[in-house]
Structure 1
């Protein structure tokens, strides 16, 4: 077996790190370990929302809609992603939050992968 290859299922693997599949939080030596980038498989039921705004952001983020309807809240602006493939990118220093207007599946890529940005999940949420 080649230790530099990992084969998995995003739906199953995502539960380990609240949706995050790749980033600094994976063990060094695991092909999913990266200090350069993080990737998330976000499955959000209708009405799901971020518990609190992310502030003091030091990373750049791309959020891509796979299915559903997903709203991203940015300072002074709401962006609604409602067509498969719609995406939004925001840079360092941009606070944000989000809300699933319908059952939604989103792929998030953010960089770099920095420890210390975990927000506590509300009870019953991953």
Structure 2
């Protein structure tokens, strides 16, 4: 890293930080540090699912399908992304969950980047959970 430029590989870098490439959680001084937004490169095997619903999030989110077939569940509604470039945006306070109907790659952008909100591996191995 020099001259405030970082060159990487989303697939390799994502594996180092639960998929997250950019956000407040990167070291200050790293060009990937941002308090404005977070970016995640999510690689999900077939039938991967969020272990529990994300509730009461204060951020807005955009999820774009890169490959595969990916379902987002919202209260009273499900959205299936099945063509490259399909996307969904949801606002603050919208509870959600997700399920990879096929092996999928998704790009997620959330804003703002909120310190104190973390996702950890579910102890029974069913994806992620909010802590």
Q: TM-score band (shorter)?
A: over 0.9
Q: Which runs of 5+ in 2 are unaligned?
A: none
Task: Determine the structure 1 residue equivalent to 2:84.
Answer: 84
Task: Determine the structure 2 residue equivalent to 1:60.
Answer: 60
In the alignment, is the contact (CA less than 8 A) between 1:19 and 1:40 conserved in 2? yes
**How far has the Cα of 1:51 moved from its partner?**
1.1
In the alignment, is the contact (CA less than 8 A) between 1:3 and 1:30 conserved in 2? no
Q: Work out the CA distance in 1 between the residues paired with 2:87 and 2:117.
A: 22
For residues 74-111 of structure 1, the C-alpha deviation after alignment (integer angstroms, 9 at most, x for no partner) is 11110000000000000001011100000000000010
Q: Does 1:2 align with 2:17?
A: no
**How far has the Cα of 1:120 moved from its partner?**
2.1
Aligned residues: 126
Q: CA RMSD in A?
A: 1.4
- Kindly report structure 1 stretches of 4+ aligned residues shifted beyond 6 Å: none
Give TM-score, length-normalised by structure 1.
0.95
In structure 2, the residue corresponding to 1:13 is in which secondary structure? helix
Q: Does 1:40 align with 2:40?
A: yes
Give TM-score, length-normalised by structure 2.
0.91
Task: Determine the structure 2 residue equivalent to 1:98.
Answer: 98
